[in-house]
Structure 1
């Protein structure tokens, strides 16, 4: 089969389309014909070598962990899915090598769930990693609900746009930081927008003088450190960071999304009930993955970048 791969660490220029071996189907896995995948910052961070200390890496690497597609074959013990089922997945293994920017993916059962019936392929591919990160941060870890006031940093981004909708669905008040151009979008999905950057704390205090009860951080660094002062006295430690595991030393929690069929099923139900709608910034062909990486690296993407896979890779080779 054909896939996008990189054989050495570097920038977007290391990506190329190549023939690679067909994935082997394990007894508790499904073989998925890939329709779409989405781009996450972790994809280009892996290609740049930033996660080399965290994962064993086997070159050539097929990037990508998000996928939406159709089950083409099932392992001999699989009863949860049948050939022809439409699925989504966060297909992350314990080592890095076999990703989703490919024509077919062998996905362990714990990583896949039924695709929401009301979403097209592009929106479906946008859900897994960003949706799971938001859900596991807000629901599993912070347990937000009515009475909470949650500060969500980078609220218009891939994770942030899911986080706002999930927190609102849980009954929380949401304050979201974003650039001015995204403030109308944040209002549409239920957040009270504030501008990120200098003066953020003052803007949040103006909206909620008593402070917030939970924080979802996507920036780290000084932005994270200073925002801790916004937590009300009874809420100290109710902070999740997605970028800085040093938050553990300050009593908070570091979250790196875990594959979970149960949580993906919950996201599917939320999407089908209309409370969760993926925001798509750009749709491109998977052969333009390098350009998609460059766009993601700007840090100014609203929602998600999605790549169309079906039929695109074979055309690139010939």
Structure 2
């Protein structure tokens, strides 16, 4: 048995509880990790509210959490890259299992060796924001040296990582934040910083090549005004498009629905010769290993706002949902779990 933080049912509040559940059994291509720390992400509480029910299928009650770091305690008989005793980090997002437990099952393909320079809490803060930034800026936006990229909410979890990755890639970075966080985002490398309480970014910025959509509301539509022709919007917050539905093997009805709800922004973008796409991050151990090299080399540094003990996971999620965290919120899980 092991202790886990589970989602009992979908709903607005108080749908979580700690429970003693069976220790998981791994398959041939999986590793069992004793979890030392878990990085929280906004999608953790959004899933709990039912926001992703059409997309992510969970068997409730379900252990939640996506990002973890810890020690390998068991490997499947087909696993080649890891052995018991290895320190690893991984995203298990959308894999049907959860990270907020004393032990977690991780596909070999999703894991990477923990960067030597990072402690477990720092390593656990990286996977979701690191992979999202990597897949958005490198694979979807094809960001090139000398281009300009707008990364709103620069002091948040995604923002603090994406700014650093974009700068490493040779881009000029614009961002928004509150006046209290201007110095933080400038230290991370932001070139043009807009205090969103004083100015509207779309009235100040211009000539951009890429926008990373991270803010709900009308932020995506406003961002079209700062982009050049032949530029790209990569949205992390929707609306999902038909290409996303096809990639997930959804049926014709869902492809039609997603095509309809994204048609307005796609048409607005197309009129300006701008390409819109929706990105849903996927675990990738090889990409995480490349990100790990940048972390070990000090090219990118983790930004953590607050670390909570495991028994305060509910409080950690509430704190994250308030939206004021600078960087990431992490939960540390006691290392006293029996091996």
What TM-score results when the alignment is normalised by the length of structure 1? 0.92
| Alpha-carbon separation, structure 1, partners of 2:313 and 2:11 | 14
Residue 287 of structure 2: aligned partner: 263
Find the counterpart in structure 2 of residue 58 from structure 1: 59
Q: Deviations over 1:196-249 (max 9, x none)?
A: 2652212324xxxxx1111111014311101111101242xx111100123555
Count of residue pairs brought into register by the alignment? 305
Once the two structures are TM-superposed, the CA of residue 12 in structure 1 deviates from its matched residue by 4.8
Whether 1:280 aligns to 2:299 is no
Deviation string 1:266-302 (CA, Å, 9 cap, x unpaired) is 1101101111111000000121111111111112211
8 Å CA contact 1:286–1:312 kept in 2: the answer is: no
Could you tell me which residue of structure 2 aligns to residue 130 of structure 1?
A: 129
Give the SS at the match of 1:59.
coil
SS of the residue corresponding to residue 46 of structure 1 reads: helix
**Structure 1 residue aligned with 2:104:** 105
Gaps of 5+ in 2: 241-261, 270-274
Deviation sequence 1:65-100 (CA, Å, 0-9, x none): 1000000000011110011000001013444xx201
Correspondences of 1:1-318 after superposition (within 5 Å):
1-95=2-96, 98-192=97-191, 193-196=193-196, 199-205=200-206, 211-235=207-231, 238-244=232-238, 245=240, 246=262, 247-248=265-266, 250=269, 251-311=275-335
Runs ≥4 residues deviating over 6 A: none
Aligned in 2, Cα 1:7/1:29: closer, same or farther, shift over 3 Å? same
Q: Distance in 2 between matches of 1:313 and 1:72?
A: 12
Q: Distance in 1 between matches of 2:81 and 2:200?
A: 51
Q: Is 1:12–1:44's contact at 8 Å kept on the other side of the alignment?
A: no
Q: 1:231 to 1:117 in 2, by over 3 A?
A: same
1-structure distance, mates of 2:145, 2:93 = 33
Contact persistence 2:56–2:94 (CA under 8 A): no
Secondary structure, aligned partner of 1:176 = strand
Q: Assess if the C-alpha contact under 8 Å between 2:112 and 2:288 holds in 1.
A: yes
Quote the offset at 1:174 in angstroms.
0.6
**What is the alpha-carbon root mean square deviation over aligned residues?**
1.6
Unaligned runs of at least 5 residues, structure 1: 206-210
Cα distance in 2 for partners of 1:313, 1:75 equals 21
Change (3 A) 1:215 1:300: same
Partners of 1:61 and 1:11 lie apart in 2 by 16
* 1:226 counterpart SS class: helix
Q: Secondary structure at the match of 2:208?
A: coil
